[in-house]
Amino acid sequence: MDSKKEPFEEAALLFKLIGDKTRLKMLAILYRDECCVCELVDIFQMSQPSVSQHLKKLKLAGVVSERRSGQWIYYRINDEYPAYSQLVSIIEKLPDMQPVLAELMASGKRVCCD
């Protein structure tokens, strides 16, 4: 019976994380491309500490991973996350966030960290 407990715990954790609309939207964006905190600050019009707190929760759960480039950290969905396929199936049912990234690029803010 214990073998059935872990998948439910994993699903419950995922649902808790994506139950917040900001984190869900962040994941939809990170599904399209990796982003640094400053790009997410611009997209969400939130403070850097607020964005970082959401990313911290996602990272601690293993849902997102990071890549360092100099002093900047870029986040993306962790394709090794145990419930990755479930997460992707949910994200794919949401509106496509590529236009948000395209708008960021058009405004010259897509790579604001370099």
User: From CA 36, how far away is CA 110, in angstroms rounded?
Assistant: 9
Q: What is the DSSP string of 9-53?
A: HHHHHHHHHHTSHHHHHHHHHHHH--EEHHHHHHHHT--HHHHHH
Contacts of 31 (CB under 8 A, 6+ apart): 77, 88, 91, 97
Res 1 pLDDT > 50: no
* pLDDT tens track for 5-36: 587 888 888 999 999 999 999 999 999 999 99
* pLDDT tens track for 51-107: 999 999 999 999 999 999 888 899 999 999 988 999 999 999 999 999 999 998 888
Res 112 pLDDT > 60: no
Contact 35, 100 (CB under 8 A): no
CB atoms within 10 A of CB 7: 12
Phi first, then psi: what are they for 55, rounded to 5°? -65, -35
pLDDT of res. 31: 96
Res 110 pLDDT > 80: no
Contact 31, 93 (CB under 8 A): no
pLDDT of res. 42: 92
pLDDT of res. 5: 55
